[in-house]
């Protein structure tokens, strides 16, 4: 058996290193600090790239000795095999054998077989085939079957498309999940996979017949419209219409509209607008309208209309329908985030204060205002806090106000904070420990 720590019959001699004294010192320190085989293997790679392959060989051996899991042995074997590092095929083969011994499931075996078969690996197709057969014996579900099929079909794998077809047929017979059917259809359609578009159409049809959830229909439509699959926009639109027939919530309509807008699929603004209008015609509650307005207005998301004026009109409808503080605060947050309209948001926060009926309501409002950094308006924040101090006797709310007034990121007015602190003590009769404990911070 070849000893990997030997080099052409001579034992390793670190005195032959091409590294500078500083590099040697740094690498030795890292070797001493290495916690696992990954650290040692990565260090070996760096040292090999720096020119000292003898030292790298010793480190790879240390990494091998520390390795325990199949994927760890695979990583070391790939590195040892790489011509940029050692290019040692025999040693890599022996490490892959250890990986096999440590393999626990079909996925581990597929990973080993893929490395063994690859031209960048051992290029040993026959050994790889036997490992794939072991993976098949250990397969537990259809995803294992699909995984094996996707690895044996490509030319860089085994180039065995017939075996892949057989495996995919077995997967289809057992498939119950829509996304599994989509994955199978994609690989069958892809020219880099099986490349059988007629068969793929049948699988997509099977998926659409079984689909019940909105996400399923969207996923099927998006998949079959991609050029590398079927590139069928007409069929994709027909499936979107099936999704629309089942759409119930604002989120359903928004998700369909965003998909229709996506340039990778239909990229159809007119149809997307029609879908948003269908959502508006159907939804009559404030939060649903807010969700639709968010999607119409948003200029940060990937696929929206960026139509802030339409969004503004929908937010107004949502405000008209808002019946409680939760709805109102949710809409205010969207108006500031999606429209960037701070003045409108400030007016609505004043409206929210009028709706507050108890201390919990006040705290919700202040938490919302805090999360938006007082709408970047400290003078307005002073107005809000002044009013709040008069309205509330709740210690938690008063503590929030004191801290915010004192914080330089917000108001930053220690003198006013001390005044509020004294008011808070009076209102709570000095019985709140949180407020009393905060005095030290104010004095500092």
Looking at the predicted structure, is the pLDDT value of residue 194 above 90?
Answer: yes
Span 412-417, average pLDDT: 78
Cβ pair 397, 361 in contact under 8 A: no
**Which range in 283-297, 370-384, 399-413 is most confidently predicted, on average pLDDT?**
283-297
Q: Where are the domains of the chain?
A: 351-444
Exposure string (b/e) for 24-38, b if CB count within 10 Å is 16 or more?
beebeebbeebeebb
- HSE of 96 in the Cβ direction (CA atoms, 13 Å)? 27
Cβ neighbour number for residue 430 with a 10 Å cutoff: 11
Q: How far is CA 336 from CA 98, 252, 347, in A?
A: 59, 24, 12
Of 43, 38, 65, 73, nearest to 56 by C-alpha is 43
Least confident piece of the model among 16-25, 170-179, 363-372? 363-372
- The Cα 58–Cα 2 span in angstroms is 14
pTM: 0.77
- The Cα 258–Cα 305 span in angstroms is 9
Span 180-185, average pLDDT: 96
Least confident piece of the model among 214-223, 286-295, 352-361, 387-396? 387-396
pLDDT in the model for residue 442: 53
pLDDT in the model for residue 428: 64
Average of per-residue pLDDT values in the chain: 87
Cβ pair 365, 401 in contact under 8 A: no
Looking at the predicted structure, is the pLDDT value of residue 372 above 60?
Answer: yes
Cβ neighbour number for residue 185 with a 10 Å cutoff: 27
CB neighbours of 386 closer than 8 A, spacing ≥ 6?
none
């Amino acid at each position: 058996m070849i000893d990997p720590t030997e080099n052409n019959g001579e034992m390793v001699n670190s005195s032959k290193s091409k590294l500078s004294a500083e590099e040697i010192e740094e690498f030795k320190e890292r070797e001493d600090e290495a916690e696992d085989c990954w650290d040692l293997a990565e260090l070996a790679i760096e040292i090999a790239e720096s020119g000292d392959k003898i030292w790298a060989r010793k480190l790879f051996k240390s990494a091998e000795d520390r390795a325990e899991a199949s994927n760890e042995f695979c990583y070391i074997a790939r590195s040892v095999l790489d011509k940029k590092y050692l290019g040692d095929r025999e040693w890599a083969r022996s490490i892959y054998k250890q990986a096999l011994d440590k393999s626990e499931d079909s996925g581990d075996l597929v990973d080993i077989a893929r490395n063994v078969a690859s031209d960048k690996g051992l290029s040993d197709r026959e050994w790889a085939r036997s490992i794939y057969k072991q993976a098949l014996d250990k397969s537990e579900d259809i995803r294992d079957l699909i995984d094996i099929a996707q690895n044996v079909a490509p030319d860089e794998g085994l180039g065995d498309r017939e075996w892949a077809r057989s495996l995919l047929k077995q997967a289809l017979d057992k498939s119950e999940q829509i996304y599994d059917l989509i994955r199978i259809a994609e690989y069958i359609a892809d020219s880099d996979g099986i490349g059988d578009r007629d068969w793929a159409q049948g699988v997509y049809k099977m998926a659409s017949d079984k689909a019940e959830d909105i996400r399923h229909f969207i996923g099927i439509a998006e998949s079959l419209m991609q050029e590398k699959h079927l590139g069928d926009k007409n069929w994709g639109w027909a499936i979107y219409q099936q999704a629309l027939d089942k759409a119930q919530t604002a989120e359903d309509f928004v998700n369909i509209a965003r998909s229709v807008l996506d340039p990778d699929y239909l990229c159809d603004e007119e149809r997307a607008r029609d879908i948003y209008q269908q959502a508006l015609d159907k939804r009559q509650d404030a939060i649903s309208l807010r969700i639709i307005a968010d999607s119409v207005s948003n200029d940060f998301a990937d696929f929206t209309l960026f139509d802030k004026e339409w969004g503004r009109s929908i937010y107004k409808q949502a405000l008209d329908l808002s019946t409680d503080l939760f709805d109102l605060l949710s809409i205010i947050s969207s108006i500031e985030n999606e429209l960037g309209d701070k003045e409108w948001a400030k007016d609505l926060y004043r409206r929210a204060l009028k709706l507050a009926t108890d201390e919990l309501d006040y705290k919700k409002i202040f938490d919302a205002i805090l999360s938006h950094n007082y709408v970047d308006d400290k003078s307005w924040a002073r107005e809000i806090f002044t009013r709040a101090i008069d309205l509330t006797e709740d210690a938690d709310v008063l503590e929030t106000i004191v801290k915010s007034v004192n914080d330089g990121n917000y108001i930053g007015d220690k003198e006013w904070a001390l005044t509020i602190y004294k008011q808070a003590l009076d209102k709570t009769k000095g019985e709140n420990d949180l407020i009393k404990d905060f005095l030290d911070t104010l004095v500092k």
